Structure 1
Amino acid sequence: MSLISVYPLLVANRKEFSKLESQLKERRCRLDADIGVKLKFVIELIRICGGWKERVIIFIQLLDPLNLIMKQLNSLFSWTLGREILYMDGKLDVNQRQISINYVMTLRVIPKCFLHRQKLSQKV
């Protein structure tokens, strides 16, 4: 027996589950971190680490969950991309990736959360 936990909004975005999209809108759970178990865990981990002034690096293989977490961080903490959130994926060109890495290395920007696509680490 297998069990897979998926954030409902990610499932609803698939054509096969398009009927769920209207249900999610009705329930107003698009950015509700308590709906998905994994997302709730990630948000709690970020809260705990934030209290200790630690940073969190999140490696994710797929882009949809990565973008969802970025939206959640913006919604819950009012964090912005490029300031508290550093986001990198394979769609960024090499120069943009290097600029982001340089900002962190020179401590001009100290993000609280790094969102990193797992496949990108093979290219860097």
Structure 2
Amino acid sequence: IDSFEGSKLRSLPGIHVYTIFMKPTEIQEDILSRISMATSCGGRYLLEVELLITIASIHPWLIKTTKSSSTYFTPEEIHKVDRYKRDFAVGCKARFVIDLLHKSSYRGERVLIFCHNVSPISFLVELIENVFGWRLGEEVLVLQGDQELPVRSDVMDKFNTDSQGKRKVLIASTTACAEGISLTGASRLVMLDSEWNHSKTRQAIARAFRPGQERTVYVYLLVASGTWEEDKYSRNRRKAWMAKMVFHGRYFDVPLRNAVTAIDDGLLKELADEDKTKTFHMIVKQD
């Protein structure tokens, strides 16, 4: 169970955490339903199925990056997704990232994106370069486990000490950002996929929401509606609720999953108002 120093955090500008349930696009729904149908008889999800659902919920092209896709799709079907590689609109989470980057850059805010798997990191770097013309190592920075410690340190320094607004986004592997890493240069944080251990999510959030942060931090936890991700989200909430009671030694009411009636985050409100395709199925704010 993670414990945070309350007095230090209360002195920070503040934090708003939103869980956004996103409706997959038609192409994603077709892919996700195929995977679900193929595994419905087993009663449980294999690790390869978990990976496929996770990456397909970001963007359909990503199924090409895992060998296990050949178990559920024909070579022709896998080849077919090539046509969508540069089209961010066919992936609900990919589209959210692009829209968020556009509005955050306009506001002079930097974005931190966490992803558990490596393939979406490389994909997003290429997608962002195609859409915005931003370059890896300049406007776009990457932090992942296979980097040497001096390289990681250089990436963090570039991101946190940028006073000219050159750095726009840092895409990081969740497993590469352990306790002690500070990424306070970001005021917008996106969790592309969820962890089984809720403390891992809190640890990721604490990379930006920590002493040294000068802005209000906005966190977006993205969940693909109607998929296994919803079940994972519910289990994580229950784990967090039980851990809270153990830590404090008293009972707390079960947290409700109610949609927000008013969005305090001006940027997120803009995205919701502009959501003509109704991709935002529901937005829940964490207390």
Structure 2 counterpart of 1:42, which letter?
A: V
Q: Which residue of 1 aligns with 2:65?
A: 13
Structure 2 counterpart of 1:117, which letter?
A: S
* Counterpart selection for 1:71 from 126, 129, 143: 126
Q: Distance in 2 between matches of 1:44 and 1:106?
A: 25
Q: Which residue of 2 aligns with 1:112?
A: 168
Q: Distance in 2 between matches of 1:74 and 1:91?
A: 22
Q: Which residue of 1 aligns with 2:87?
A: 32
Given that 1:50 and 1:112 are in contact with CA atoms closer than 8 Å, whether structure 2 keeps it comes out as yes
Q: CA deviation at 1:52?
A: 0.8
Q: 1:54 to 1:71 in 2, by over 3 A?
A: same
Given that 1:13 and 1:21 are in contact with CA atoms closer than 8 Å, whether structure 2 keeps it comes out as no
Between the two proteins, the alignment pairs up a number of residues equal to 121
Q: CA deviation digits over 1:93-119, x for unaligned, max 9?
A: 001111222233443774100111111
Q: Which residue of 1 aligns with 2:210?
A: none
| 1:59 partner SS | strand
Q: Distance in 1 between matches of 2:150 and 2:163?
A: 17
Q: Distance in 1 between matches of 2:79 and 2:124?
A: 21
Q: CA deviation at 1:6?
A: 4.3
Q: Distance in 2 between matches of 1:98 and 1:86?
A: 12
Structure with bigger helix share is 1
Q: 1:95 to 1:108 in 2, by over 3 A?
A: farther
Q: Distance in 1 between matches of 2:112 and 2:88?
A: 18
| 2:177 partner SS | helix
What TM-score do you get using the length of structure 2 for normalisation?
0.39
Structure 1 counterpart of 2:116, which letter?
A: Q
Given that 2:121 and 2:171 are in contact with CA atoms closer than 8 Å, whether structure 1 keeps it comes out as yes
| Structure ID, larger Rg | 2
Identity %: 25
Q: Distance in 1 between matches of 2:135 and 2:85?
A: 19
Residue ranges of structure 2 left out of the alignment (5+ in a row): 1-35, 37-52, 182-287
Q: Distance in 2 between matches of 1:42 and 1:15?
A: 26
Q: Distance in 2 between matches of 1:72 and 1:102?
A: 24
Cα RMSD after superposing both structures = 2.2
Structure 2 counterpart of 1:16, which letter?
A: S
Given that 1:34 and 1:40 are in contact with CA atoms closer than 8 Å, whether structure 2 keeps it comes out as yes
Q: Distance in 2 between matches of 1:41 and 1:49?
A: 12
